[in-house]
Structure 1
Amino acid sequence: MKDPESVQTRSRRQLFKGMGAATLAVAVFPGCDTRQATTAHGETADNRAQRIYEPRFFTGDEWAFVNAASACLIPNDALGPSAVEAGVPEYIDRQMGTPWATGALWYMQGPFNADAPAELGYQSQLTPQQIYRLGIAAADGFVQKAQGKTFAQLAADKQDAALHAIESGQAVFETVPAKLFFSMLLQNVREGFFADPVHGGNRGLAGWKLIGFPGARADFMDWVERDVKYPLPPVALNGQRG
C-alpha cells in the first residue's frame, strides 16, 4: 500500500508543476487536508485565518463553504500552507466587491450560448457574484440531499468526492451550471494563492515561495536563462519580503 502522505505530496508537486504564476492546464485534486498546523494555544492556522478576516460579501454558511473548498483544492502539506492559511478565501471575498464580480467589465447582453468557443468570450447571463451565491447554495443542497450535511460539515474524503462530482457535471444544479461554478471557484483559488498579497491572498508570499517566483523585484533578468534556483526571496508590491 502506498503511503498516503507521500502520494499527497507528489500530487501537490504535480499540481503546481508548470503553472507559471497563476494558471493550470487541468484541475487536479491532491485530496483535502486534515493535518492542519496547530498553534501553541491549540488553534489551527486555518481557523486563525478565518477569525482575523470578516467577510463582506459571503454569509456565514457561504464563508464556511469557501474556506472548506479552498482548503480541499490546495491543502496544507509538506510543500507549504493551505489555501486558507495563505488567505485565499479573503482574496475571493474581496473580489466580490469589485466591478468584475458584478459583470461591469464584460458585455452582458444576450444571446448566450454555453457551447460557444472560448474565443467568443463569457457566455453566461450570471455575474460572478450570482454564480457564487447560487453555486454554493446548490452545492450545499446537493451534498445535503446525499449526505444529510452541508459541504463544510463533511469529512475530507467526502468533500473531495463532492468537488469531483461538481467538476465533472455529475452533480446537476438547477440554478447555475455546476461546471461553471466549479471552474470559477478553482480559478479564483489559483489566483488568490499566487496574486500579490495586496489583493488579500498569497499570505506570507507562500505561493511565490512555492514556485520560486521573485515577485516585484526591480530586475531579475540575469537569472531568467540560468538553470539554477533564484537565490533571493520574493518581494511584494508593498515591499514585503518572503
Structure 2
Amino acid sequence: MSAECGAAPGWSGHRPLHPHPRFARGVTGAIMSTKEKNGQGDVGRRDFLKLFGAAGAAAGTLPFGGSTSADEIVAAAATDTKHHHAAEPRARGSGYEFFNVDESAFVEAAVDTLIPKDAAGPGAKELGVATYIDRQMASGYGKGDRLYLEGPFGEGTPGQGYQLPMTPSELIRAGIADVNAVVQKSHENSFAALSAKDRAAIMADLEATKIELPTVPAATFFSLLLQLTIEGYFADPMYGGNKDAAAWKMIGFPGADAMYADKIEPFRNKPYKAEPKGIQDLI
C-alpha cells in the first residue's frame, strides 16, 4: 500500500473506489445489511462482496492497491515519523503493534459493523481484519513514508484527493478518538460498547457526514476505515486478515496460485475447484 507523490500535494496511496450502485447508496444498505432483498434490483451481501473480490483478484492478490511487504512491515515498525498530530498509545492492545487497548476495541467493533457475519459468509472481525489494519498503521504506509506532507495544505477539490497534513495512522488514530468522544457525549459510552444497531447507525451517519468530528473530516475518516476493512477482508492472509482464506473461499477466488499446467489433462472437460492458496503456501 505505497503512495506516490503526484503533481498536487496529497495522498494517492489508495485507488478510489467505484462501488456497485447499491453500495453507492450507503453502507447500511450494502455490507452492513444482513438481509438480501429480492425483486428490487438489489444484490445481496455475498454478490456485493464478490464484486469487490473479483475486482481485487483482477488487480492481484491484494485488492484496491498494493500493500507493504512483510519485510517492510517489520522495518517500518522500528522507524519513527516526525508527524505527531495525535497522542501516542500508552499501552498496546493484546497482539497489536500500533493500536492501544481502546483503539483496538474500536477497530474490532467497526470492522464487525461494516462486514458482519451472516449466512453468506464470515464477518471481518473473525477474519482478523483489525490485525490487518493494525499492521498497515504500524508500517511505512501508515507512517506516510511516501507521502508529500510539507504543504501548503488546502481544502482542494474532489479530483485532487487527500489533502490533510496527516499520515494514514494519524488520521485513523485521531478519527477513533473523535468518534469515541462524540459517542461518549451522545450515548454515554464508547463506540465498542454500543449495540450492533447503534454502531451501524453511527457508521451510517459518518458516511453521510451527519456527524461532525472535532479534529478530522468525518467522510475522510470513514472512507479510509472502510477502504482498509475491505482490503483486509480480501487481502492475502499473510497480511493479517482473511484468516484461512475464508473470504476467497466465499467468492471462489483461487488465490495466488497461477500454475495449472499439471491440471489440464486430469481435469480436461471436468470442473476443477481449487483450494485457495496464499503467497506463503507457495514459498
Task: Indicate whether the TM-score tops 0.5.
Answer: yes
CA distance 1:182–1:170, shift in 2 (3 Å): same
What is the deviation of 1:166?
1.0
Match of 2:274 in 1: 232
What is the deviation of 1:192?
0.5
CA contact (8 A) 2:144 2:167 kept: yes
CA contact (8 A) 1:113 1:123 kept: yes
Q: TM-score, normalised by structure 2?
A: 0.66
Match of 1:18 in 2: 51
Residue type at the aligned position of 1:13:
R
Residues 56-88 of structure 1: CA deviation (Å, up to 9, x unaligned):
211111111000001011111112111111110
Query: Where do residues 140-219 of structure 1 align in structure 2 (5 Å cutoff)?
Result: 140-219=180-259
Residue type at the aligned position of 2:131:
E
CA distance 1:87–1:17, shift in 2 (3 Å): same
CA contact (8 A) 1:212 1:230 kept: no
Percent of paired sites with the same residue = 41
Secondary structure of the residue aligned to 2:36 is helix
C-alpha distance in 1, partners of 2:241/2:128? 4
Q: Compare 169-178 and 106-115 and name the one that shifted more.
A: 106-115
C-alpha distance in 2, partners of 1:57/1:8? 39
Residue type at the aligned position of 1:150:
S
Question: In the alignment, does 2:139 pair up with 1:106?
Answer: no
C-alpha distance in 1, partners of 2:176/2:35? 32
Secondary structure of the residue aligned to 2:176 is helix
Question: In the alignment, does 2:109 pair up with 1:68?
Answer: yes
CA contact (8 A) 1:53 1:90 kept: no
CA contact (8 A) 2:238 2:279 kept: yes
C-alpha distance in 2, partners of 1:128/1:196? 21
Secondary structure of the residue aligned to 1:18 is helix
CA RMSD of aligned residues (A): 2.7
Structure 2, unaligned runs of 5 or more: 1-32, 57-62, 65-92, 265-269
What is the deviation of 1:13?
2.4
C-alpha distance in 1, partners of 2:244/2:94? 15
Structure 1, unaligned runs of 5 or more: 24-51
CA contact (8 A) 2:180 2:191 kept: yes
What is the deviation of 1:109?
2.0
C-alpha distance in 2, partners of 1:171/1:234? 40
Size of the aligned set, in residue pairs, is: 204
C-alpha distance in 1, partners of 2:101/2:134? 12
CA contact (8 A) 2:234 2:247 kept: yes
Question: In the alignment, does 2:128 pair up with 1:87?
Answer: yes
Residue type at the aligned position of 1:217:
D
C-alpha distance in 2, partners of 1:230/1:6? 31
